[in-house]
Amino acid sequence: MPRVRSIIYIDGYNFYYGMVRDTEWKWLDLQRCFELVRSDDDIQEIRYFTSEALGDARERQSVYLEALGTLPLVTVHLGRFKGRSLTCRVRACEYAGSRRYQVLEEKETDVAISVRLIDDAYRDRADRFVIVSGDSDLVPAVRLLRERFADKEIIVYVPASAGTRRAAAREMRRIAHKHRTMPVEPLRRSQLPEVIPVADGTIRKPPSW
C-alpha cells in the first residue's frame, strides 16, 4: 500500500516552549524527528514557522536556522515580533513612573500557517496535513480545509505544555480528524551533528545547547 503524502506544519514557538526549552534537545533535526513520528507517511515538506528571537537568543537561533537549511525537506518561514503598549491596572503598585509599558507579541505565524495550509490543499500538494500546535487561532483555517477538502486528512500534535492552555488545545483536538500529544522520544533520537559541514565552512552547535 503506498504511503500517504503529507506536509508537516510546525508552530515554532509553541513547539519550543512545549517540547524543547528546558531540555538538552534544542539542536533538533526536524526532518529526522518527524520521519520517526510519521514513519508511515511520504513526507513532502516540513514547514517550520517562527519569528526572529530577541536579545542573546538571536545568535543561537540564527545558527539553528542555518542548520535547518541543510535539511532537504525543511522550509523555514520567518515572521516578526511587534510591540504593543499596555497599561498597568494593579492598584496596589507603588512604582512612581509611567503605568504604560511595552510588550512584544509574535505576529504572522498563525496567519502564515493558515495561508500555507489552504494553499497547499488547493495545489493538491498532500493528502494529509499534520499540524504541530495547540494554538486555537488556527481553528478557522482547519475548519475551512475540512469543509472544502473532504478527502484531506488533518492530524494535530499538541506540544506537551500546551496542555496548560487547555481550551486552546481542546479546540485544536476537536477540529482535527485525529489528534496526538507530541511524543518525546523522537526528539532525543534526532539531534543534529555538533559540527555540520557546509560549502563555505561549518555550522557548530551553540555551546550552551
Nearest partner of 52 among 12, 27, 80, 16, judged by Cα: 80
Q: Where are the domains of the chain?
A: 4-79+108-204
Segment 128-169, tens digit of pLDDT:
999 999 999 999 999 999 999 999 999 999 997 544 455 558
Segment 27-82, tens digit of pLDDT:
999 999 999 999 999 999 999 999 998 888 999 999 999 999 999 999 999 986 55
Output the pLDDT for position 43.
99
Query: Considering the entire predicted model, what is its pTM?
Result: 0.86
pLDDT band at 85 (very low <50, low <70, confident <90, very high): low
- Tell me which architecture the domain covering 4-79+108-204 has in CATH: 3-Layer(aba) Sandwich (3.40)
The CA distance from 22 to 31, in Å, is: 21
Output the pLDDT for position 108.
80
Output the pLDDT for position 104.
45
Nearest partner of 141 among 161, 121, 164, judged by Cα: 121
The CA distance from 132 to 203, in Å, is: 26
- 160 CB contacts (<8 Å, ≥6 apart)? 18, 19, 181, 182, 184
Gyration radius of the chain over CA positions = 19
**What average pLDDT does this structure show over 2-17?**
96
Segment 102-138, tens digit of pLDDT:
444 555 899 999 999 999 999 999 999 999 999 999 9
